[in-house]
Structure 1
Amino acid sequence: MIIQTETVDIPTPTGTMRTYVYRPVAEGRYPAVIFYSEIFQQTAPIARSAAIMAGHGFVVLVPEVFHELNPIGTVLAYDDAGKDKGNQDKFSKPLADHDSDTQAMLSFLDERDYFNGHAGSMGVCIGGHLAFRAALNPRIQAASCLYATDLHSNTLPADDADQTLARCGDVKGELMMIWGRQDPHVPDANRADINRALREAGCNFTWHEFNGQHAFMRDEGERYDAELALNAYRLSVDLFRRTLN
Protein backbone atom coordinates (compact mmCIF):
# COMPACT_ATOMS: atom_id res chain seq x y z
CA MET A 1 0.00 0.00 0.00
CA ILE A 2 1.02 3.58 -0.65
CA ILE A 3 1.11 5.49 2.63
CA GLN A 4 0.95 9.06 3.86
CA THR A 5 2.43 10.62 6.96
CA GLU A 6 1.47 13.45 9.26
CA THR A 7 2.62 14.91 12.54
CA VAL A 8 0.13 15.57 15.33
CA ASP A 9 0.43 16.94 18.85
CA ILE A 10 -1.74 14.96 21.25
CA PRO A 11 -2.63 16.38 24.67
CA THR A 12 -1.90 14.06 27.60
CA PRO A 13 -2.16 14.55 31.37
CA THR A 14 1.61 15.12 31.46
CA GLY A 15 1.91 17.47 28.50
CA THR A 16 1.80 17.63 24.73
CA MET A 17 3.00 14.46 23.01
CA ARG A 18 4.36 14.80 19.48
CA THR A 19 3.15 11.76 17.55
CA TYR A 20 3.93 10.66 14.01
CA VAL A 21 1.11 9.04 12.06
CA TYR A 22 1.66 6.67 9.13
CA ARG A 23 -1.40 5.36 7.29
CA PRO A 24 -2.60 4.11 3.92
CA VAL A 25 -3.54 6.68 1.29
CA ALA A 26 -6.48 4.59 0.09
CA GLU A 27 -9.79 5.54 1.68
CA GLY A 28 -11.18 3.14 4.24
CA ARG A 29 -11.12 2.27 7.91
CA TYR A 30 -8.01 0.53 9.18
CA PRO A 31 -6.82 -1.06 12.42
CA ALA A 32 -4.18 0.85 14.36
CA VAL A 33 -0.82 -0.13 15.80
CA ILE A 34 0.88 2.06 18.38
CA PHE A 35 4.59 1.65 17.68
CA TYR A 36 6.84 2.40 20.65
CA SER A 37 10.41 3.38 19.87
CA GLU A 38 13.71 2.75 21.57
CA ILE A 39 15.00 5.25 24.13
CA PHE A 40 16.20 7.42 21.23
CA GLN A 41 12.61 8.27 20.11
CA GLN A 42 11.74 8.46 16.41
CA THR A 43 15.05 7.90 14.66
CA ALA A 44 15.28 7.10 10.94
CA PRO A 45 15.19 3.31 11.54
CA ILE A 46 12.06 3.68 13.69
CA ALA A 47 10.40 5.77 11.00
CA ARG A 48 11.19 3.11 8.40
CA SER A 49 9.79 0.39 10.64
CA ALA A 50 6.58 2.35 11.10
CA ALA A 51 6.29 2.89 7.35
CA ILE A 52 6.75 -0.83 6.69
CA MET A 53 3.93 -1.70 9.07
CA ALA A 54 1.64 1.01 7.71
CA GLY A 55 2.24 -0.28 4.22
CA HIS A 56 0.57 -3.53 5.23
CA GLY A 57 -2.72 -1.82 5.97
CA PHE A 58 -2.39 -0.31 9.43
CA VAL A 59 -2.59 3.14 10.95
CA VAL A 60 0.70 3.39 12.83
CA LEU A 61 1.28 5.94 15.59
CA VAL A 62 4.82 6.62 16.81
CA PRO A 63 4.75 8.71 20.00
CA GLU A 64 7.67 10.55 21.50
CA VAL A 65 7.87 8.25 24.48
CA PHE A 66 9.69 10.72 26.74
CA HIS A 67 7.86 13.86 25.63
CA GLU A 68 7.75 15.24 29.18
CA LEU A 69 11.52 15.19 29.45
CA ASN A 70 12.62 16.63 26.10
CA PRO A 71 11.74 19.47 23.73
CA ILE A 72 9.20 18.49 21.09
CA GLY A 73 10.91 16.84 18.14
CA THR A 74 13.89 15.51 20.09
CA VAL A 75 15.73 12.60 18.48
CA LEU A 76 18.70 11.20 20.36
CA ALA A 77 21.76 9.98 18.48
CA TYR A 78 22.91 6.36 18.51
CA ASP A 79 26.02 7.27 20.50
CA ASP A 80 27.10 7.26 24.13
CA ALA A 81 25.59 10.67 24.86
CA GLY A 82 22.28 9.67 23.32
CA LYS A 83 22.27 6.37 25.17
CA ASP A 84 23.03 8.05 28.50
CA LYS A 85 20.25 10.61 28.03
CA GLY A 86 17.75 8.00 26.87
CA ASN A 87 18.49 5.72 29.80
CA GLN A 88 18.15 8.66 32.18
CA ASP A 89 14.73 9.38 30.68
CA LYS A 90 13.73 5.72 30.91
CA PHE A 91 14.42 5.61 34.63
CA SER A 92 12.79 9.01 35.26
CA LYS A 93 9.34 8.59 33.69
CA PRO A 94 6.77 6.75 35.84
CA LEU A 95 5.12 3.79 34.16
CA ALA A 96 1.73 5.29 34.98
CA ASP A 97 2.53 8.19 32.65
CA HIS A 98 3.05 5.76 29.78
CA ASP A 99 -0.41 4.38 30.57
CA SER A 100 -2.02 7.80 30.18
CA ASP A 101 -0.07 8.32 26.93
CA THR A 102 -1.56 5.11 25.55
CA GLN A 103 -5.06 6.17 26.50
CA ALA A 104 -4.53 9.58 24.91
CA MET A 105 -3.55 7.94 21.61
CA LEU A 106 -6.57 5.65 21.71
CA SER A 107 -8.81 8.66 22.30
CA PHE A 108 -7.17 10.43 19.37
CA LEU A 109 -7.79 7.40 17.15
CA ASP A 110 -11.43 7.21 18.18
CA GLU A 111 -11.95 10.65 16.64
CA ARG A 112 -10.46 9.66 13.26
CA ASP A 113 -12.71 8.41 10.47
CA TYR A 114 -9.92 6.19 9.10
CA PHE A 115 -9.78 4.05 12.28
CA ASN A 116 -11.82 0.84 12.46
CA GLY A 117 -11.87 0.66 16.26
CA HIS A 118 -9.33 -2.17 16.66
CA ALA A 119 -5.89 -1.42 18.11
CA GLY A 120 -2.64 -3.22 18.86
CA SER A 121 0.83 -2.26 20.05
CA MET A 122 4.36 -2.99 18.89
CA GLY A 123 7.79 -1.90 20.01
CA VAL A 124 11.50 -2.56 20.19
CA CYS A 125 13.84 -2.47 23.22
CA ILE A 126 12.17 -0.23 25.85
CA GLY A 127 9.44 0.09 23.24
CA GLY A 128 8.92 -3.66 23.48
CA HIS A 129 8.30 -3.18 27.19
CA LEU A 130 5.94 -0.28 26.47
CA ALA A 131 4.05 -2.34 23.88
CA PHE A 132 3.56 -4.98 26.59
CA ARG A 133 2.60 -2.24 29.06
CA ALA A 134 0.06 -0.85 26.59
CA ALA A 135 -1.64 -4.26 26.53
CA LEU A 136 -2.68 -3.69 30.15
CA ASN A 137 -5.25 -1.40 28.54
CA PRO A 138 -8.16 -3.65 27.50
CA ARG A 139 -8.48 -1.76 24.21
CA ILE A 140 -5.18 -3.26 23.03
CA GLN A 141 -6.07 -6.57 21.40
CA ALA A 142 -2.55 -7.73 20.51
CA ALA A 143 1.02 -6.70 21.25
CA SER A 144 4.23 -7.53 19.38
CA CYS A 145 7.05 -7.10 21.89
CA LEU A 146 10.55 -7.24 20.41
CA TYR A 147 13.46 -7.84 22.81
CA ALA A 148 11.61 -6.00 25.56
CA THR A 149 13.98 -4.63 28.19
CA ASP A 150 13.37 -4.08 31.91
CA LEU A 151 10.44 -6.51 32.18
CA HIS A 152 12.42 -8.91 34.35
CA SER A 153 14.26 -6.32 36.42
CA ASN A 154 11.33 -4.37 37.89
CA THR A 155 13.49 -1.25 37.84
CA LEU A 156 11.26 1.28 36.06
CA PRO A 157 9.51 3.89 38.22
CA ALA A 158 6.45 2.21 39.77
CA ASP A 159 5.39 0.46 42.93
CA ASP A 160 6.20 -3.25 43.01
CA ALA A 161 2.57 -4.19 42.42
CA ASP A 162 2.43 -1.90 39.37
CA GLN A 163 5.55 -3.25 37.67
CA THR A 164 4.58 -4.43 34.19
CA LEU A 165 5.43 -8.11 34.51
CA ALA A 166 3.75 -8.27 37.92
CA ARG A 167 0.54 -7.22 36.18
CA CYS A 168 0.79 -9.55 33.20
CA GLY A 169 -2.36 -11.35 34.34
CA ASP A 170 -4.28 -8.15 33.50
CA VAL A 171 -3.50 -8.48 29.79
CA LYS A 172 -6.65 -9.52 27.92
CA GLY A 173 -5.21 -9.51 24.40
CA GLU A 174 -2.60 -11.71 22.76
CA LEU A 175 1.10 -11.19 23.39
CA MET A 176 3.88 -12.08 20.98
CA MET A 177 7.33 -12.09 22.56
CA ILE A 178 10.34 -11.98 20.20
CA TRP A 179 13.89 -12.30 21.50
CA GLY A 180 17.50 -12.55 20.36
CA ARG A 181 19.40 -15.29 22.16
CA GLN A 182 22.59 -13.24 22.05
CA ASP A 183 20.94 -10.20 23.69
CA PRO A 184 22.95 -9.28 26.81
CA HIS A 185 20.13 -7.09 28.10
CA VAL A 186 17.77 -10.06 28.56
CA PRO A 187 19.90 -13.21 29.09
CA ASP A 188 18.64 -16.80 29.08
CA ALA A 189 17.75 -16.92 32.77
CA ASN A 190 15.79 -13.67 32.60
CA ARG A 191 13.89 -14.76 29.51
CA ALA A 192 13.00 -17.95 31.37
CA ASP A 193 11.69 -15.87 34.28
CA ILE A 194 9.47 -13.87 31.93
CA ASN A 195 8.20 -16.99 30.20
CA ARG A 196 7.37 -18.57 33.55
CA ALA A 197 5.49 -15.48 34.71
CA LEU A 198 3.35 -15.44 31.57
CA ARG A 199 2.55 -19.13 31.92
CA GLU A 200 1.67 -18.87 35.59
CA ALA A 201 -0.61 -15.90 34.87
CA GLY A 202 -2.40 -17.81 32.10
CA CYS A 203 -1.54 -15.23 29.44
CA ASN A 204 -2.37 -15.85 25.78
CA PHE A 205 1.06 -15.57 24.19
CA THR A 206 3.48 -16.90 21.61
CA TRP A 207 7.24 -17.03 22.14
CA HIS A 208 9.97 -16.70 19.50
CA GLU A 209 13.72 -16.82 20.05
CA PHE A 210 16.21 -16.23 17.25
CA ASN A 211 19.97 -16.33 17.06
CA GLY A 212 20.26 -12.58 17.04
CA GLN A 213 21.67 -9.71 19.04
CA HIS A 214 19.91 -6.86 20.77
CA ALA A 215 18.53 -4.35 18.24
CA PHE A 216 18.61 -6.80 15.34
CA MET A 217 15.66 -4.89 13.85
CA ARG A 218 17.56 -1.59 13.63
CA ASP A 219 18.68 -1.17 10.04
CA GLU A 220 21.70 0.91 11.03
CA GLY A 221 24.77 -0.47 12.74
CA GLU A 222 26.54 -3.79 12.96
CA ARG A 223 23.81 -5.69 14.85
CA TYR A 224 21.20 -5.42 12.09
CA ASP A 225 20.05 -8.79 10.75
CA ALA A 226 17.88 -8.28 7.69
CA GLU A 227 16.54 -11.83 7.55
CA LEU A 228 15.52 -11.84 11.20
CA ALA A 229 13.96 -8.41 10.80
CA LEU A 230 11.86 -9.59 7.85
CA ASN A 231 10.73 -12.60 9.88
CA ALA A 232 9.73 -10.33 12.77
CA TYR A 233 7.77 -8.02 10.47
CA ARG A 234 5.99 -11.02 8.95
CA LEU A 235 5.11 -12.43 12.36
CA SER A 236 3.84 -9.03 13.50
CA VAL A 237 1.75 -8.42 10.39
CA ASP A 238 0.23 -11.89 10.70
CA LEU A 239 -0.57 -11.28 14.38
CA PHE A 240 -2.31 -7.96 13.74
CA ARG A 241 -4.19 -9.10 10.64
CA ARG A 242 -5.55 -12.05 12.60
CA THR A 243 -6.52 -10.12 15.73
CA LEU A 244 -7.46 -6.61 14.55
CA ASN A 245 -9.61 -7.20 11.47
Structure 2
Amino acid sequence: MPVVRGTSVDIPTQDGTADAYLAHPGDSAPHPAVLLYMDAFGLRPQLRRMADRLASAGYTVLVPNVFYRHGRAPVVELPDVIDPVRRPEIFAALGPVMQALTPESAMRDAGVYLSCLAASPLADDGPVGLTGYCMGAVLALRTAGTYPERVAAAACFHGGRLATDAADSPHLLADRITAELYFAHADQDPSMTEDQIALLESTLTAAGVTYRSEVYHGAHHGFTQADTAAHDAQAEERHWQALLALLSRTLRPG
Protein backbone atom coordinates (compact mmCIF):
# COMPACT_ATOMS: atom_id res chain seq x y z
CA MET A 1 0.00 0.00 0.00
CA PRO A 2 1.34 3.48 -0.83
CA VAL A 3 2.27 5.72 2.07
CA VAL A 4 -0.83 7.15 3.72
CA ARG A 5 -1.03 9.76 6.46
CA GLY A 6 -3.94 9.84 8.86
CA THR A 7 -4.61 12.46 11.51
CA SER A 8 -7.35 13.30 13.96
CA VAL A 9 -8.95 16.68 13.34
CA ASP A 10 -11.56 18.80 15.10
CA ILE A 11 -14.18 20.60 13.02
CA PRO A 12 -16.07 23.55 14.58
CA THR A 13 -19.82 23.46 13.88
CA GLN A 14 -22.82 25.51 14.97
CA ASP A 15 -23.51 22.95 17.69
CA GLY A 16 -20.04 22.16 18.98
CA THR A 17 -16.93 20.45 17.69
CA ALA A 18 -17.02 17.35 15.49
CA ASP A 19 -14.06 15.05 15.93
CA ALA A 20 -13.00 13.43 12.67
CA TYR A 21 -10.31 11.41 10.92
CA LEU A 22 -8.53 12.75 7.84
CA ALA A 23 -6.53 10.40 5.63
CA HIS A 24 -4.54 11.38 2.56
CA PRO A 25 -1.69 10.19 0.35
CA GLY A 26 1.72 10.78 1.85
CA ASP A 27 2.86 13.20 -0.82
CA SER A 28 0.81 16.03 0.80
CA ALA A 29 -0.32 17.23 -2.65
CA PRO A 30 -4.00 18.07 -3.22
CA HIS A 31 -6.14 15.09 -4.21
CA PRO A 32 -9.84 14.54 -5.00
CA ALA A 33 -11.86 14.65 -1.79
CA VAL A 34 -14.14 11.98 -0.37
CA LEU A 35 -16.52 12.37 2.57
CA LEU A 36 -17.01 8.99 4.25
CA TYR A 37 -20.16 8.67 6.36
CA MET A 38 -19.99 6.23 9.25
CA ASP A 39 -22.42 3.50 10.18
CA ALA A 40 -24.19 3.61 13.55
CA PHE A 41 -21.20 2.12 15.36
CA GLY A 42 -19.25 5.23 14.56
CA LEU A 43 -15.74 6.44 14.02
CA ARG A 44 -13.44 3.60 15.08
CA PRO A 45 -10.39 1.67 13.80
CA GLN A 46 -12.42 -0.13 11.12
CA LEU A 47 -13.50 3.13 9.48
CA ARG A 48 -10.01 4.55 9.78
CA ARG A 49 -8.73 1.50 7.89
CA MET A 50 -11.34 2.06 5.20
CA ALA A 51 -10.34 5.71 4.90
CA ASP A 52 -6.69 4.68 4.63
CA ARG A 53 -7.52 2.28 1.80
CA LEU A 54 -9.28 5.06 -0.10
CA ALA A 55 -6.37 7.40 0.56
CA SER A 56 -3.96 4.79 -0.82
CA ALA A 57 -5.95 4.99 -4.07
CA GLY A 58 -5.22 8.71 -4.29
CA TYR A 59 -8.00 10.44 -2.36
CA THR A 60 -8.18 12.79 0.60
CA VAL A 61 -10.79 11.29 2.92
CA LEU A 62 -12.69 12.86 5.81
CA VAL A 63 -14.59 10.65 8.29
CA PRO A 64 -16.55 12.77 10.78
CA ASN A 65 -18.10 11.54 14.00
CA VAL A 66 -21.66 12.56 13.15
CA PHE A 67 -22.70 11.82 16.76
CA TYR A 68 -20.34 14.47 18.13
CA ARG A 69 -23.17 16.18 20.03
CA HIS A 70 -23.14 13.16 22.35
CA GLY A 71 -19.38 13.04 22.84
CA ARG A 72 -16.19 12.17 21.07
CA ALA A 73 -15.87 8.79 19.37
CA PRO A 74 -16.45 6.11 20.41
CA VAL A 75 -19.78 7.36 21.75
CA VAL A 76 -20.50 3.90 23.17
CA GLU A 77 -18.04 1.21 24.17
CA LEU A 78 -17.61 -1.39 21.42
CA PRO A 79 -16.18 -4.92 21.49
CA ASP A 80 -13.53 -6.02 19.01
CA VAL A 81 -16.22 -7.90 17.05
CA ILE A 82 -19.58 -6.17 17.07
CA ASP A 83 -22.59 -8.48 17.21
CA PRO A 84 -25.75 -6.64 18.24
CA VAL A 85 -27.67 -9.91 18.49
CA ARG A 86 -25.42 -11.05 21.32
CA ARG A 87 -24.89 -7.53 22.65
CA PRO A 88 -28.33 -5.85 22.45
CA GLU A 89 -27.20 -3.14 24.84
CA ILE A 90 -25.15 -1.62 22.01
CA PHE A 91 -28.19 -0.64 19.97
CA ALA A 92 -30.12 0.16 23.13
CA ALA A 93 -27.53 2.86 23.77
CA LEU A 94 -27.19 3.96 20.15
CA GLY A 95 -30.90 4.16 19.35
CA PRO A 96 -31.59 7.49 21.08
CA VAL A 97 -28.37 8.94 19.66
CA MET A 98 -29.39 8.01 16.12
CA GLN A 99 -32.89 9.39 16.55
CA ALA A 100 -31.52 12.68 17.86
CA LEU A 101 -29.67 13.32 14.59
CA THR A 102 -32.40 15.02 12.59
CA PRO A 103 -32.16 15.48 8.80
CA GLU A 104 -31.92 19.23 9.36
CA SER A 105 -28.99 19.07 11.78
CA ALA A 106 -27.26 16.36 9.74
CA MET A 107 -27.40 18.45 6.58
CA ARG A 108 -26.28 21.56 8.41
CA ASP A 109 -23.27 19.54 9.51
CA ALA A 110 -22.78 18.19 5.99
CA GLY A 111 -22.25 21.72 4.74
CA VAL A 112 -19.55 22.19 7.36
CA TYR A 113 -17.80 18.93 6.42
CA LEU A 114 -17.86 19.86 2.73
CA SER A 115 -16.50 23.31 3.54
CA CYS A 116 -13.75 21.75 5.63
CA LEU A 117 -12.64 19.69 2.65
CA ALA A 118 -12.91 22.67 0.31
CA ALA A 119 -10.61 24.67 2.59
CA SER A 120 -8.05 21.90 3.02
CA PRO A 121 -4.79 22.23 1.06
CA LEU A 122 -4.85 18.43 0.84
CA ALA A 123 -8.04 18.43 -1.26
CA ASP A 124 -8.23 19.63 -4.84
CA ASP A 125 -10.76 22.23 -5.93
CA GLY A 126 -13.05 19.79 -7.74
CA PRO A 127 -16.33 18.28 -6.56
CA VAL A 128 -16.48 15.77 -3.73
CA GLY A 129 -17.35 12.09 -3.68
CA LEU A 130 -19.44 10.54 -0.91
CA THR A 131 -19.60 7.03 0.45
CA GLY A 132 -21.90 5.96 3.27
CA TYR A 133 -22.61 2.79 5.20
CA CYS A 134 -25.89 1.75 6.87
CA MET A 135 -27.20 5.03 8.32
CA GLY A 136 -24.33 6.72 6.49
CA ALA A 137 -25.95 5.72 3.21
CA VAL A 138 -28.96 7.83 4.17
CA LEU A 139 -26.65 10.74 4.97
CA ALA A 140 -24.84 10.34 1.65
CA LEU A 141 -28.09 10.38 -0.32
CA ARG A 142 -29.38 13.40 1.58
CA THR A 143 -26.09 15.25 1.09
CA ALA A 144 -26.13 14.59 -2.66
CA GLY A 145 -29.60 16.14 -2.81
CA THR A 146 -28.88 19.01 -0.45
CA TYR A 147 -25.54 20.11 -1.93
CA PRO A 148 -25.76 19.08 -5.60
CA GLU A 149 -23.30 21.73 -6.71
CA ARG A 150 -20.58 20.21 -4.51
CA VAL A 151 -21.14 16.47 -4.97
CA ALA A 152 -20.14 14.53 -8.10
CA ALA A 153 -20.71 11.00 -6.80
CA ALA A 154 -22.39 9.20 -3.93
CA ALA A 155 -22.20 5.52 -3.06
CA CYS A 156 -24.67 4.00 -0.60
CA PHE A 157 -23.88 0.60 0.90
CA HIS A 158 -26.43 -1.51 2.82
CA GLY A 159 -28.51 1.57 3.54
CA GLY A 160 -31.84 1.17 5.30
CA ARG A 161 -35.08 3.08 4.71
CA LEU A 162 -33.76 5.00 1.72
CA ALA A 163 -37.26 5.15 0.19
CA THR A 164 -40.32 5.14 2.43
CA ASP A 165 -43.68 6.89 2.67
CA ALA A 166 -42.30 9.35 5.24
CA ALA A 167 -42.50 13.04 4.35
CA ASP A 168 -38.74 13.39 4.76
CA SER A 169 -37.70 10.15 3.03
CA PRO A 170 -34.25 10.58 1.43
CA HIS A 171 -35.41 9.47 -2.01
CA LEU A 172 -37.64 12.54 -2.28
CA LEU A 173 -34.52 14.63 -2.95
CA ALA A 174 -34.00 12.82 -6.27
CA ASP A 175 -35.03 15.76 -8.44
CA ARG A 176 -32.22 17.85 -6.96
CA ILE A 177 -29.44 15.30 -7.43
CA THR A 178 -26.87 15.82 -10.18
CA ALA A 179 -24.27 13.34 -8.89
CA GLU A 180 -23.83 9.83 -10.20
CA LEU A 181 -25.12 7.35 -7.60
CA TYR A 182 -24.35 3.75 -6.74
CA PHE A 183 -26.41 1.55 -4.43
CA ALA A 184 -25.49 -1.84 -3.01
CA HIS A 185 -28.40 -3.51 -1.23
CA ALA A 186 -28.12 -6.65 0.88
CA ASP A 187 -30.89 -9.10 0.05
CA GLN A 188 -30.90 -10.27 3.68
CA ASP A 189 -31.59 -6.74 4.92
CA PRO A 190 -35.11 -6.20 6.30
CA SER A 191 -34.49 -2.44 6.52
CA MET A 192 -34.41 -2.13 2.71
CA THR A 193 -37.12 -4.32 1.18
CA GLU A 194 -37.74 -5.12 -2.46
CA ASP A 195 -40.60 -2.63 -2.48
CA GLN A 196 -38.34 0.10 -1.11
CA ILE A 197 -35.69 -0.69 -3.70
CA ALA A 198 -38.30 -0.50 -6.46
CA LEU A 199 -39.57 2.85 -5.17
CA LEU A 200 -36.04 4.22 -4.95
CA GLU A 201 -35.19 3.13 -8.47
CA SER A 202 -38.42 4.38 -10.06
CA THR A 203 -38.04 7.76 -8.38
CA LEU A 204 -34.42 8.16 -9.49
CA THR A 205 -35.29 7.09 -13.03
CA ALA A 206 -38.18 9.56 -13.22
CA ALA A 207 -35.85 12.34 -12.02
CA GLY A 208 -33.25 11.52 -14.65
CA VAL A 209 -30.55 10.62 -12.13
CA THR A 210 -27.60 8.57 -13.35
CA TYR A 211 -27.37 5.61 -11.01
CA ARG A 212 -26.70 1.92 -10.63
CA SER A 213 -28.56 -0.19 -8.09
CA GLU A 214 -27.43 -3.72 -7.29
CA VAL A 215 -28.53 -6.41 -4.87
CA TYR A 216 -25.75 -8.40 -3.21
CA HIS A 217 -27.25 -11.84 -2.82
CA GLY A 218 -26.57 -13.62 0.45
CA ALA A 219 -25.28 -10.44 2.11
CA HIS A 220 -26.59 -9.00 5.36
CA HIS A 221 -27.00 -5.43 6.58
CA GLY A 222 -23.49 -4.25 7.42
CA PHE A 223 -21.64 -6.60 5.07
CA THR A 224 -18.77 -4.17 4.43
CA GLN A 225 -17.73 -3.87 8.06
CA ALA A 226 -14.93 -6.30 8.93
CA ASP A 227 -15.33 -5.78 12.68
CA THR A 228 -18.97 -6.93 12.76
CA ALA A 229 -20.77 -10.27 12.69
CA ALA A 230 -22.44 -9.21 9.42
CA HIS A 231 -19.16 -9.00 7.52
CA ASP A 232 -18.99 -10.76 4.15
CA ALA A 233 -15.47 -10.68 2.71
CA GLN A 234 -16.56 -11.35 -0.87
CA ALA A 235 -19.28 -8.72 -0.78
CA GLU A 236 -16.89 -6.26 0.86
CA GLU A 237 -14.38 -6.67 -1.94
CA ARG A 238 -17.14 -6.22 -4.52
CA HIS A 239 -18.02 -2.99 -2.74
CA TRP A 240 -14.46 -1.74 -3.05
CA GLN A 241 -14.39 -2.45 -6.77
CA ALA A 242 -17.68 -0.60 -7.32
CA LEU A 243 -16.71 2.34 -5.11
CA LEU A 244 -13.29 2.89 -6.64
CA ALA A 245 -14.72 2.63 -10.15
CA LEU A 246 -17.37 5.25 -9.33
CA LEU A 247 -14.86 7.65 -7.80
CA SER A 248 -12.41 7.19 -10.66
CA ARG A 249 -14.90 8.06 -13.40
CA THR A 250 -16.49 10.98 -11.55
CA LEU A 251 -13.59 12.60 -9.67
CA ARG A 252 -10.85 11.78 -12.20
CA PRO A 253 -12.58 12.30 -15.58
CA GLY A 254 -10.42 11.67 -18.62
Tell me whether the two structures share a fold, i.e. TM-score over 0.5: yes
Q: How many Å separate the matches in 2 of 1:182 and 1:213?
A: 5
Q: How many Å separate the matches in 1 of 2:164 and 2:47?
A: 25
The Cα RMSD (Å) is 1.6
- Matched residue pairs, number? 239
Q: Find the counterpart in structure 1 of residue 58 from structure 2.
A: 57
Q: Quote how far apart the aligned CAs of 1:154 are.
A: 5.6
Q: Find the counterpart in structure 2 of residue 146 from structure 1.
A: 157
Q: Quote how far apart the aligned CAs of 1:33 are.
A: 0.8
Q: How many Å separate the matches in 2 of 1:95 and 1:75?
A: 20
Q: How many Å separate the matches in 1 of 2:229 and 2:56?
A: 26
Q: Find the counterpart in structure 2 of residue 40 from structure 1.
A: 41
Aligned 1:142-221 pairs, distance under 5 A: 142-153=153-164, 160=167, 162-211=168-217, 212-221=219-228
Q: How many Å separate the matches in 1 of 2:12 and 2:177?
A: 25
Q: Find the counterpart in structure 2 of residue 12 from structure 1.
A: 13
Q: Which runs of 4+ in 1 moved over 4 A?
A: none
CA contact (8 A) 1:43 1:75 kept: no
CA contact (8 A) 2:44 2:74 kept: no
> Mind listing any 5+ residue stretches in structure 2 that lack a counterpart?
none
Moved more, 125-134 or 103-112: 103-112
CA contact (8 A) 2:161 2:196 kept: no
Q: How many Å separate the matches in 1 of 2:3 and 2:165?
A: 41
Q: How many Å separate the matches in 2 of 1:19 and 1:143?
A: 20
Q: How many Å separate the matches in 2 of 1:3 and 1:215?
A: 26
Q: Find the counterpart in structure 1 of residue 30 from structure 2.
A: 29
Q: Find the counterpart in structure 2 of residue 119 from structure 1.
A: 128
Aligned 1:61-100 pairs, distance under 5 A: 61-68=62-69, 70-76=70-76, 77=78, 78=82, 79-100=87-108
Q: Quote how far apart the aligned CAs of 1:201 are.
A: 1.9
Letter in 2 for 1:193: L
Q: How many Å separate the matches in 1 of 2:189 and 2:250?
A: 29
Post-superposition CA distance 1:112-168 (Å, at most 9, x none): 21211231110110011111111121201100100111222366xxxx2x4321112
Secondary structure of residue in 2 paired with 1:115 = coil
> Mind listing any 5+ residue stretches in structure 1 that lack a counterpart?
none
Task: Say yes or no: does 1:109 pair with 2:117.
Answer: yes
Q: How many Å separate the matches in 2 of 1:154 and 1:114?
A: 41
Q: Give the TM-score, by structure 2 length.
A: 0.88
CA contact (8 A) 1:53 1:233 kept: no
Specify whether residues 223 and 25 from structure 1 end up closer, same or farther in structure 2 by C-alpha distance, changes over 3 A only. Answer: same
Task: Say yes or no: does 1:130 pair with 2:139.
Answer: yes
Secondary structure of residue in 2 paired with 1:151 = coil
Q: How many Å separate the matches in 1 of 2:205 and 2:6?
A: 39
